[in-house]
Structure 1
Amino acid sequence: MRSLPSCSAMAAASIALLQLCFFTLVSADDHSSRALVIYPRTDKLIAPTNTPFVLTCVGHGGEPSLFNSFKWRNSRGEEVKSNERIRISTEVGKTMLLFDVPSKSDSGIYECESNFQNSEEYKAKIEITFFQNIEWENCPVVQSLIKGRFDESIHCKVAASPSAQLSWKKGNKDIDQQRYVIENHKLKLRYTASEEDGGEYQVSAFVQDTGKFEFRTINVNIHTSPKITELQDQVEGTEGEQLEVICKASGNPPPMISWYDPKRRNLSNVGGYIVDRNTGQLTISKVNKEVDNGYFQCVAENPAGRDEKSLRVKIKEKPRIEVFTNITVDQGNKAIFECKATGVPLPMLYIRKENMNSKDYIIEDGKHQFENSTDNSRTTLKMIVNNVRRSDGGLYFCAAENSAGKAEQVGHLLVQFAPDLNKTIKEVKTWATRPVNLTCVVEAVPNASVSWYFGNRDLTEENFNQYRVYNDPLGHNKLLVHPDNTVYGKYWCRAENSQGTTSIDIKLTQAFIPDAPNQVDFKNSTPNSIRFVIREVFDGGMPILGFYVIYQKKNDPLPSEPVYFDTPYTIENILSDLQPDTEYGLKFALRNAVGNSDYSKIFSQRTAVESPPTPPKFIYDEDFNSPGVGDITSSYSTRYDVRWYPAEDNGREVESYELKYYEVVSTGINSYPQSQWQKAEHANVKQTFIDAKDSPSYSLTDLKPGTHYQIELRARNAIGLSDVSYLVFQTKGEFSKSSC
């Protein structure tokens, strides 16, 4: 049996057969159909400059890989090599000539060459013309015209090859030939530019040979030249202080503002100055008279033009007082104050004394005279004080004031005068061995020396055991005396300075205890108290400081402890906590700084029997007069707050108060107050009781506006009711919110 061939043998045979077929096909290929083809497939073409473009050369009529050795040649037959503008890219069966940025010089015939199987040579060529495409070289989409200016134009320059033709429209309408003329690369106005020339323009560029067409819209704004509308002619600044000025300008677009100082420096970038170019504000941080005094220039600028205007800056200086000194003058002479000050403008000068208001000043009179003088940089004020007295001494203030501010400086007038001893106490008392100071109060300028004398003895020079001279912390000269029977009598103090000598007598006398009082007046007594006033006493030469009272019931073997009163003995005093209807014996002793007097003789006095309380007394505000006369007015329309002093109980404690009130009308009788008023017809009597432990007051409510009322008030104790106290008042005439 015959065997089949192996798989590997069959595969090898197949490959051989395929190779044979391929070579047979190649050999049998028709040479006439084999060629190179350049794309775009045409003999001639045109293309725009500056736009990337590519020529592709492809082998046809055979296996692409068998086309090799591709080349490109230019019109001069030179092989084209890759450079920065032209690149050659070759792939299997084809080659590409790439123009990255073609120009007109690249126009011409380009030929592609290639070999087939490294033996047969094929060629293809194409003619290409590069033209310049439409380019907007100088044709801004936003332009401006300056209002009122001649020869204004809207520019639009177009580059193209072949040349482009331009056409213009405004607002999609044909251009008004009467107003505009089309010139090379621009649309020119025949007249001055105005607001109607603003708006939207359309410009078209067309190249007939290439069929290229471009369209552009131009927005035209009408600009107006800057005009400074707000700037003061002159401003004033104060040395060392901040100054702000404003410069405003109109124009379209809004102009930017610049400031120049007197040295023509642009202040936008100069330290110490702040320029807001939008608002036109110039801020000088600290005005300097050396730099800033003069003319500043405000400049407003926009694309339409420029305007400028000057501003005068005058620098003021705050007043400065150079001279105002202290002076010393003898009493009776003239005092001359001189005040000198500088400032711009020159300040006014005033002088005031320390006790005057800061806004007041001394004016010329018989006492004071003034002299004013000025020079270029200083003003001077002299004040002459005639016949100087001690009261003229003290602090004086010179004030200098101008529009930049105010300055003040203090000076002192020292008035020299002879010693004045009028404040010295001329009589001094002591007793027993109590040391005592004699004080010589000396007022003197300059300070005075002080001497003490007793009789003909100079106590300052000699050394005595009983005397010592010294100065206290207040500067008063004192003579300390240790008394015995020999030191009483007349001393004299002598003070001396450069202005004179003054002396004064001081009498040292002996003080004693008071005498016992021998006259006492007794007043109306109550069941629990005795009222009295001590009369005609001898005080021993010293003020009475108080007194003692000892009292004793009749037939009681022991008296009371002394009761001390520190109230003046000359007024009515009250001895309290006594028993009703009881006879007492009373003795009195006076007290001064030396000691207590003996007790007086016994004065007998009997307390009253127990009885109803005394009538209570009403309390009135400051503007109220006597009760019952109808001139007490409530602060409210429907209410009145009545108050009273607690009643004296007359031996039994007050338990309560009975209060009645009712409407009254005038009787027309001007006698005793109660007879002036009578109860109104149909008036209701309202009654209330107030516990004595509560506040002695009561609020009457629900009253009628503008109406008179009478109050009856009585106090009650265990014995009975007091007499009635009356009060008439009137409510306000109309309702008030405060009555709520």
Structure 2
Amino acid sequence: DTSGVEKEAVTFQCVAEGKPAPKYSWVDDQSRPLGGQEGYYVDEVKGELTVLDLRPDQAGTYRCTATNPAGNDVAEAQLRVLTKPKLEQFLNITVPVAGNAEFRCVFSGDPRPNISFQKETSVEPFYDGINSDARIEVEQTVDDYGNSVGIMKISDVKRSDDGLYTCTGSSGGGETIGWGHITVQFAPTFEKQPTDEFWSWEQEKVNLTCVASSIPNATIQWYIRNEEIPQRDPNLRVLALGPTGVLEVNPLDNSYFGGWHTEKIWIIFRTYTCQATNELGVVNHDVTLKQVHKPGPVTSVKVDKITATTITWRILEPHDNGGRPITSFLVQYKLRNMAWDDAEASSWTKGSAYTLERLLPKEHYVFRFAAKNEVGISEWSGEKSEQMPEVTVPEEPLIFVNDEGVNFVPYTDHYDLQWKTPLDNGDPINYFTVIYYQVVEDGSGGWKTLGAKIEKTVEFPGVTTYQIQKLRPDTHYRIELRAHNSIGYSSPAELVIKTAHGNVQYESFQPVLLISQANGFNDS
């Protein structure tokens, strides 16, 4: 006897003894000769019967007859066709939160399939019996037709149970996967509401929006002071009823806002209520409509740093931001004897360095400032008068380093020095000098110089890197970097490095910190 899987092939072997050697023939359980029949192959010499592309109706008894001139003999064998599991039923279900869900999955097949359930987003399937999540229980049974039935029960359903599930039927005949979905219904929430504040200025129309999350979808109703939006008011118009509710407000006067005082600022707003409803519940959510305006004047401006050609300001927000965040600051500036109509202007994003460049050394300038929000620009205020310093030597360079103390170099014989170009203080930088020399600790926290100092020049404009070569392994070096213009040298930026031991080298790594004796530098 033998068995085979549906749509595959199976071979019977018939062996008989006789002299002369017998020939073989095969018939099915209805005595039909199979030699030459479609779907069968008979080897008369070897006694083999191959059944091709197995079908369930080919299961049964097959007889082999061995024949020679002396007579014949007959043997029988049984064929069992294993069928791939066939999904008979696996229906989507819908259940409310806190309810009980029951997934039923039915498979037919021979042999009878085993059934397993798995959520699409889970790594492992659920197992028979009560699972680690005790709300979930899986059982298997057989229906009146002999089909396998898998039942997965979920008690006290949660929203997280919503999603796609697989039901898999497995047997010796193969594996079949079915897909089903649990839809978990829940009362409305406003968990995806993007904002609860809306703004308008200069009587601009604004759409108040409420986003309700629920299954089934919710409808939205709008209220003011617990009363429905009056249909007779042409300035209040409902544009969408859900699940996203939209109320268009045309605020012709302050009655559409309301208002109150805080810290001497008049805050004008009104609360609107959107009510979301579906068959599982009702929930209210308040949004506010505020009347906003341009910012108040800038009142706090101080010089943070000044050079011959640049000035950096420290600017504080105005006390009244107009009801919307300040996005940028603006400056107008002019020579002292000029009119404001001829002034130059610049602007900075809030939080950036508030620096003006390319000013004239020794000149007297007058500056005034304004703040900007999405409504507009404040009045000009905070007027300041400053005289620029004389042209002088450059500011100190800033060296890119990896550590604030001794920098351990991943190479035995060289170091890649990198720096940021400093402010030139009114006269262009024409080169940098790099000085390096060997040092050792002097025992009191300082460094003692050993040997000669080596000086190199790096022309500028040009690169702001220099590779120091022919260093000794496992050795400390002090490096000094100066910027030069026609006036003279800057103060030096300094650091101490230690080269790697022996011949060991490592991959280079990105410098992340800055070290300098001064705070200001040119961002160009």
For the aligned pair, the TM-score class normalised by the smaller chain equals: 0.7 to 0.9
Match of 2:307, SS? coil
- C-alpha displacement of 1:339: 1.9
Q: Contact 2:399–2:493 (CA<8 Å) still a contact in 1?
A: no
Equivalent residue number for residue 487 of structure 2: 719
Structure 1's 273 and 522: CA in aligned 2 closer, same or farther, altered over 3 A?
farther
Letter in 2 for 1:716: H
- Per the alignment, in what secondary structure is the counterpart of residue 298 of structure 2? coil
Q: Which amino acid aligns with 1:326?
A: N
Counterpart-to-counterpart distance in 2, 1:484 and 1:693: 60
Distance 1:245 1:482, change over 3 A: same
In the alignment, structure 1 residue 513 sits paired with structure 2 residue 513: no
Q: Indicate whether 1:496 and 2:277 are aligned.
A: yes
TM-fit CA distance, 1:616: 3.0
Aligned to 2:431: 656
Aligned residue for 2:53?
286
Q: Distance in 2 between matches of 1:278 and 1:710?
A: 95
Distance 2:324 2:53 in 1: 73
Query: For residue 157 of structure 2, what is the aligned residue in structure 1?
Result: 388
Structure number, greater radius of gyration? 1
1:529 aligns with 2:310: yes
Which position in structure 2 is the counterpart of 1:217?
none
How far residue 578 of structure 1 moved from its aligned partner, in angstroms, is 1.4
The residue identity in structure 1 corresponding to 2:377 is N
Determine the C-alpha separation between the residues in 2 that align with 1:678 and 1:315: 93
CA contact (8 A) 1:298 1:311 kept: no
Which residue in 1 is equivalent to 2:148?
379
Answer with 515-524 or 374-383: which moved more: 374-383
Q: Does the CA contact (< 8 Å) of 1:630 and 1:708 recur in 2?
A: no
What letter corresponds to residue 345 of structure 2 in structure 1? Answer: P
Q: TM-score under structure 1 normalisation?
A: 0.56
* Corresponding residue SS for 1:601: strand
CA deviations on 1:68-109 (whole Å, 9 max, x unpaired) are: xxxxxxxxxxxxxxxxxxxxxxxxxxxxxxxxxxxxxxxxxx
How many equivalent residue pairs? 480
Relative CO higher for 1 or 2, CA cutoff 8 Å, sep ≥ 6? 2
List per-residue Cα deviations over 1:605-656 (Å, max 9, x = no partner): 4444433333333335xxxx4154243424xx65554433333323222222
Q: Of the candidates 307, 323, 345, which is equivalent to residue 562 of structure 1?
A: 345
3-state SS of the aligned residue for 1:290? Answer: helix
Conservation of the 8 A alpha-carbon contact between 1:258 and 1:267: no
Matched, 1:549 2:331: yes
Paired AA for residue 497 in structure 2: V
> C-alpha displacement at 1:506, in angstroms?
2.1
Q: Label 1:698 to 1:381 Cα distance change in 2 as closer, same or farther (>3 A).
A: farther
Partners of 2:502 and 2:346 in 1: CA distance: 54
CA separation of 1:645 and 1:244: change in aligned 2, threshold 3 A: farther
User: 1:275 Cα shift?
Assistant: 7.0
**What SS class does the counterpart of residue 432 from structure 1 fall into?**
coil
Could you list the runs of 5+ residues in structure 2 that have no partner in the other structure? 258-269, 509-524
Q: In the alignment, which of 92, 95, 107 is matched to residue 329 of structure 1?
A: 95
* Identical-residue share of aligned pairs (%): 29
Partner of 1:170: none
Which structure: greater helix fraction? 1
Shift of 1:332: 1.5
Q: What is the rounded CA distance, in whole Å, between the counterparts of 1:693 and 1:309 in structure 2?
A: 101
Q: 1:89-488 counterparts in 2 under 5 A? A: 237-240=4-7, 242-243=8-9, 269-273=36-40, 285-291=52-58, 315-357=81-123, 363-374=131-142, 377-402=146-171, 404-424=173-193, 425-455=195-225, 457-459=227-229, 462-471=231-240, 475-485=243-253, 486-488=255-257
Deviation, structure 1 residue 599: 0.8
Q: 1:589 to 1:384 in 2, by over 3 A?
A: same
Distance 1:400 1:289 in 2: 18
CA-CA distance at 1:592 after TM superposition = 1.6
1:667 aligns with 2:441: yes
Q: Name the aligned partner's letter for residue 464 of structure 2.
A: P
Superposed displacement of residue 465, structure 1: 1.0
Deviation at 1:495, TM superposition (A): 2.0
Q: Which runs of 5+ in 1 are unaligned?
A: 1-232
Relative to structure 1, the CA distance from residue 693 to residue 316 in structure 2 (aligned partners, 3 Å threshold; closer, same or farther) is farther
After TM superposition, give the deviation of residue 399 of structure 1 in Å: 2.9
1:650 aligned partner, one-letter code: N
Alignment equivalent of 1:617, drawn from 394, 398, 406: 398
User: Residue 730 in 1 paired to residue 507 in 2?
Assistant: no
1:564-583 Cα shifts (integer Å, max 9, x gaps):
32x11x44321222123444
List per-residue Cα deviations over 1:383-406 (Å, max 9, x = no partner).
Answer: 222222333223223233445543
Amino acid at match of 1:487: Y
- Could you state the TM-score of these two structures normalised by the residue count of structure 2? 0.77
